[in-house]
Chain A
Amino acid sequence: MSVNFGYTISLPRAVDLDRNDFSVALRVLRRLPELESCIGCGGCTATCTAGAFTEFNFRRVQTLVRRGEYGGAYREMNKCMLCGKCRLVCPRGINTRAVVMTIKRELGTGY
């Protein structure tokens, strides 16, 4: 019989680049190599129609996916309405709508 002393073990918060599985990220980047050129300026998130009213942050979610952090990414990307304003402002010319669709396709609804 186990006794609950009220202690729990906290999982480490660090993005673990030793252990993360990059297979999905690599598949996304193979299709859209220009995504690697993101400089994180936040123009996409600033202009985002969905992000104006929800927590959706395109810059953050796609960066997490590139780091192998997929948890919740499909659900987040589903908030995108594909309006394309982010693509207009991106200084790197990244096809941001294709990024949304590719991440969703590669991850599947499980995330």
Chain B
Amino acid sequence: MKNHKVIVVGGGAAGLQAAATLKELGVEPLIIEREMQTGGKVRRWHRLFPDFTSASEVLATLEKNAEGIETLCGVMVDSIDATGVTLAGGRHIKADAMVVATGFDLFRAELKEEYGYGIYDNVYTSADIEDMLNGDGVRLKDGSAPGRVAFLHCVGSRDEKVGQPHCSRLCCITAVKQAMELRESFPDAEIYNYYMDIRMFGAGYEEMYRSAQEDGEVRFVRGRISEASPTIDGRVQIKAEDTLLGRPVKMTVDMLVLAVGMTAAESNGRLGVGLQSGGFIAPRDLFTGAVYSPDAENIFYAGCATAPKNIGETLNEATAAAVKAAEFLLEK
């Protein structure tokens, strides 16, 4: 099977895992990654829910397994068809099969203007918090430590107004994880999480939520923040309804963190494969055909290209897609 070439589009968690599996199976994979470096979104994350595993540890394992695999970085794939991929610029690379692992985009929080991201100081996204945790730690704009923090769930998820009707699934547990990381950094801080529904779908997630309530003393308020406004002293005033009390609440916080959702990768539209209504790529079906493309028998899907998934689900799916791609080549 050595002569068979499989192009893996995307070098994030799914792409690295798929390529490593293909190599193990004796197929020659080629990873094409648009960024200058593989690793995808995992590279930006500091620690992972629900057990605070270091993201770099997970990434190191993935990269070690994918060592020696031919990789094109800084190269954008424009479209895909049964013959191979066409790069931006027009160059065509032939392949016997493709694994599409193009991942997702983070929701651009500035689209929710009412929260003032990019306009007011001290309004951050969950990804900004990860950047700070990877750097010198979480600080306010003026460099001081926050005394009062509010997290808002569902920013760019379950929201028709910004064309994101789906639940991104992972933001709830991410907001809980980050609330606990802030608790660790700032033992005396007041930490609030504003939510519409808490969706703890994975193993160990509900336990982490409970631990945030009990050990982390994180206060959970059931209500969506309707708007934020800056105060004269650089803090952020937020308004919500405490729906369990049936009364409006307002509070002023030092820092507002927007738990941004996962949106379909913008590049999906150009690829030339079928999409779902929300822009994620459409697999053959959601049950027995999740890794197959309905468009061509030699195109396979892995990871968040088709829907929001956590890293474990992504890696399992990448393994499955690689195995199915190799099986397809063997039968050819």
Q: Are both chains from one complex?
A: yes
Binding site for B on A (CB under 8 A): 39-48, 51-52, 57, 59-60, 88-93
Inter-subunit contact B196/A39 (CB<8 Å): yes
| Residue in chain B with minimal CB distance to A93 | B160
The CA of A90 and the CA of B247, in the complex, are separated in Å by: 17
| Residue in chain B with minimal CB distance to A51 | B248
Inter-subunit contact B223/A41 (CB<8 Å): yes
Chain B positions 237-267 with a Cβ under 8 Å from a chain A Cβ: 239-243, 246-249
19 sample A-B contacts, Cβ–Cβ < 8 Å, listed by A number: A39-B196, A40-B243, A42-B222, A42-B223, A42-B241, A42-B243, A43-B241, A44-B241, A45-B243, A45-B248, A46-B223, A46-B226, A46-B249, A57-B241, A57-B247, A89-B114, A89-B226, A90-B161, A91-B196
Residues on B with C-beta less than 8 A from A51 are: 248
Inter-subunit contact B161/A48 (CB<8 Å): no
Choose among A45, A57, A93 the residue with the greatest number of B CB atoms under 10 Å from its CB.
A45
Residues on B with C-beta less than 8 A from A42 are: 222-224, 240-243
Give chain A nearest CB distance to B37 CB in angstroms. 35
Cross-chain contact of A48 among B196, B225, B248 (Cβ < 8 A): B248
Inter-subunit contact A89/B158 (CB<8 Å): no
Inter-subunit contact A41/B196 (CB<8 Å): yes
Binding site for A on B (CB under 8 A): 114, 154, 158-161, 196-197, 222-227, 239-243, 246-249
| Residue in chain B with minimal CB distance to A48 | B248
| Residue in chain B with minimal CB distance to A58 | B241
The CA of A42 and the CA of B249, in the complex, are separated in Å by: 10
Inter-subunit contact B243/A59 (CB<8 Å): yes
The CA of A92 and the CA of B114, in the complex, are separated in Å by: 16
| Residue in chain A with minimal CB distance to B222 | A42
Residues on B with C-beta less than 8 A from A44 are: 226, 241
Residues on A with C-beta less than 8 A from B222 are: 42
Cross-chain contact of B246 among A48, A52, A57 (Cβ < 8 A): A57
The CA of A70 and the CA of B198, in the complex, are separated in Å by: 30
Residues on A with C-beta less than 8 A from B248 are: 45-46, 48, 51-52
Inter-subunit contact B227/A91 (CB<8 Å): no
Inter-subunit contact B243/A91 (CB<8 Å): no
The CA of A92 and the CA of B227, in the complex, are separated in Å by: 16
Residues on A with C-beta less than 8 A from B227 are: 46-47, 89
Supposing A46-B240, A46-B241 touch, asked if A91 and B246 sit within 8 A by C-beta, the answer is: no
The CA of A46 and the CA of B174, in the complex, are separated in Å by: 25
Inter-subunit contact B224/A41 (CB<8 Å): yes
The CA of A60 and the CA of B241, in the complex, are separated in Å by: 11
The CA of A40 and the CA of B160, in the complex, are separated in Å by: 15
Closest 4 A/B residue pairs (Cβ): A42-B241, A41-B224, A47-B226, A93-B160
Residues on B with C-beta less than 8 A from A57 are: 241, 246-247
Supply 9 further A-B pairs (C-beta < 8 A) apart from A42-B242, A46-B240, A88-B114: A41-B196, A42-B223, A45-B248, A46-B225, A46-B239, A46-B249, A57-B241, A57-B247, A93-B161
Give chain A nearest CB distance to B272 CB in angstroms. 31
The CA of A44 and the CA of B197, in the complex, are separated in Å by: 16
Cross-chain contact of B159 among A48, A52, A91 (Cβ < 8 A): A91
Give chain A nearest CB distance to B252 CB in angstroms. 15
The CA of A13 and the CA of B45, in the complex, are separated in Å by: 50
Inter-subunit contact A91/B154 (CB<8 Å): yes
The CA of A45 and the CA of B241, in the complex, are separated in Å by: 6
The CA of A60 and the CA of B223, in the complex, are separated in Å by: 13
